[in-house]
Amino acid sequence: MKRHEFDLAAKIIHGAGARGGEPHHWIRAADGFSTLAMVCRIMGQFDLADDAMMLKWVCTEHAIPGLKALYKDIAA
């Protein structure tokens, strides 16, 4: 992962948490599966429990196409 990709994904993760009870809106605003995939990769690489739970909630409650399967692969 390139440095600017890491920075972008980190901003999405932490920005979503900082926006309160609607993190899914901020993540959807990123508008791209590739960006969401980067977020998932970071979830698999680092121990960010709160952010991982937020991402899991987005995947399970809002069913972003393709993201549920990717989350399952990383969580396995």
Q: Dig out the tokens for 43 from the structure.
A: 């979830």
pLDDT for 2 beyond 50:
yes
Q: What is the pLDDT of residues 50-72, one digit of tens each?
A: 555 556 655 555 445 555 555 55
54 touches 23 (CB < 8 A): yes
Global pTM? 0.28
Return the DSSP state at 65.
T
Q: Across residues 2-20, what is the average pLDDT?
A: 54
